[in-house]
Amino acid sequence: MKILKIPKKKLDLFASILHQGWELHAPVEQNGKFAFKPLDQWAQARLAYNRTLLAPKKYFLPPQEAMFEYRNHEGYVPSREGLDKRVILFGVHSCDIFAINILDEVFAGKYPDPYYQIRRKNTAIIGVDCVPDEYCFCRSMRADFVDKGFDLFFNDIGDYYLTAVGTSLGDDLVLATAQLFEEINDKDIAEYKHRSSEKQKAFKLDVEIRDLLGIFELEYESQIWDELGDRCLSCGSCSMVCPTCYCFDVMDHIKLGSKEGSRVRTWDSCLFHSHALVAGGENFRKERSSRIKHRYYHKQSGFVAEFGRPSCVGCGRCIESCPVKIDIVEVLNRLRGEEHAIS
């Protein structure tokens, strides 16, 4: 992997060159929170941030999208809305890149989704390192470091960003701006190692996942699920903010008085009462306890069986956003018998 460095003071020039061929999106601050947004100018970007409200998955799987329209005399007309945009996502954290790699397994693997695939192909990813806060446990989920899924990855080493080139597209971006990059030296490497080890010391949350599959097998009837069901409001926030939750609902929006309309998919959550409701009124997960249990089993156990790892990346969004403070780390540690109560 090629590694160079770029001075921080030249980032605005780098961004302005990229802007000529791409839409540039980066974390922007809004009332003390962060969100990925299109930039008008580089000064709006905040590369030192804890987490964005919504994960970058919104670029590949929008909260709502029309997949096609059906029109009189024309039949089905696929929607191309937003598909041709070339977007650079600048400032994606390792855990969110890891999450995109997981979504790739689902939407670009055995059952490829053309909408997802086109957006993914038209999006370049520039990662940036981060410092864990009180909600992060990406290290436990082995997502605090990525070696694929990015075109470029920036590591803060003071006045410079150490820049790892991950793909040939990343190489093209560097070649197009070659005058801004410099070779690295021993001092840069020492600074990178120092900051890396400081980052490890900053983690406050930990959970052991090596034997989690077995623990989940043993704890299916645990009273924990009833306790969580009593507290959970079924609001679905945890799914909406999660970078790897990908359930969606499909509905036809028919224009009144005509035979035309569109087929639309919208983010859904397995925490919603309607998620397992089927024709005839039967609901396979009527109780909140069974729905929250389902979420945990799918992410931490079912996904392991199919893809070899949990689908949680430890980003901490669900902990921060839950209105009743259901904390996934506490739940997993409690299942392991390492916490006596869920606070």
**Considering only residues 266-305, where is the footprint of ligand SF4 by CB under 6 A?**
271, 292, 299
Cβ atoms of residues 33 and 53 within 8 Å: yes
**Interacting residue with ligand SF4 among 77, 233, 250, 251 (CB under 6 A):** 233
**Interacting residue with ligand SF4 among 125, 270, 318, 332 (CB under 6 A):** 318
Task: Between 11 and 277, name the residue whose CB sits nearer to ligand SF4.
Answer: 277
Three-state SS for 266? strand
Contact region with ligand SF4 (CB under 6 A), list: 204-212, 219-227, 235-243, 332-340: 235-243
**Interacting residue with ligand SF4 among 222, 234, 283, 333 (CB under 6 A):** 234
Show the tokens assigned to 331.
């739940």
* CA dist list (Å): 104 to 107, 119, 138, 270: 5, 11, 19, 21
CB atoms within 10 A of CB 7: 14
Task: Between 155 and 300, name the residue whose CB sits nearer to ligand SF4.
Answer: 300
Nearest distance, CB of residue 23 and ligand SF4, angstroms: 26
Sheet (strand 123-128) strand order: 3-7, 160-165, 152-156, 123-128, 87-92, 23-30, 33-38
Size of the site for ligand SF4 (CB under 6 A): 27
Task: Between 120 and 299, name the residue whose CB sits nearer to ligand SF4.
Answer: 299
**Interacting residue with ligand SF4 among 132, 166, 170, 316 (CB under 6 A):** 316
**Interacting residue with ligand SF4 among 241, 264, 331, 332 (CB under 6 A):** 241
**Interacting residue with ligand SF4 among 146, 173, 322, 332 (CB under 6 A):** 322
Task: Kindly state the DSSP code that residue 122 receives in the 8-state scheme.
Answer: T
Task: Kindly state the DSSP code that residue 255 receives in the 8-state scheme.
Answer: P
Question: Is 102 one of the binding residues for ligand SF4 (CB under 6 A)?
Answer: no
Cβ atoms of residues 106 and 244 within 8 Å: no
Task: Between 170 and 236, name the residue whose CB sits nearer to ligand SF4.
Answer: 236
Cβ atoms of residues 124 and 171 within 8 Å: no
Q: How many CA atoms lie within 13 A of 95 on its CB side?
A: 26
Task: Between 163 and 244, name the residue whose CB sits nearer to ligand SF4.
Answer: 244
Nearest distance, CB of residue 312 and ligand SF4, angstroms: 3
Question: Is 56 one of the binding residues for ligand SF4 (CB under 6 A)?
Answer: no
Sheet (strand 261-267) strand order: 75-78, 64-71, 261-267, 248-254
Residue 106 neighbours by CB under 8 Å, 6+ apart: 246
Nearest distance, CB of residue 264 and ligand SF4, angstroms: 23
**Contact footprint for ligand SF4 (CB under 6 A):** 232-238, 241-244, 271, 292, 299, 312-318, 321-324, 326, 328
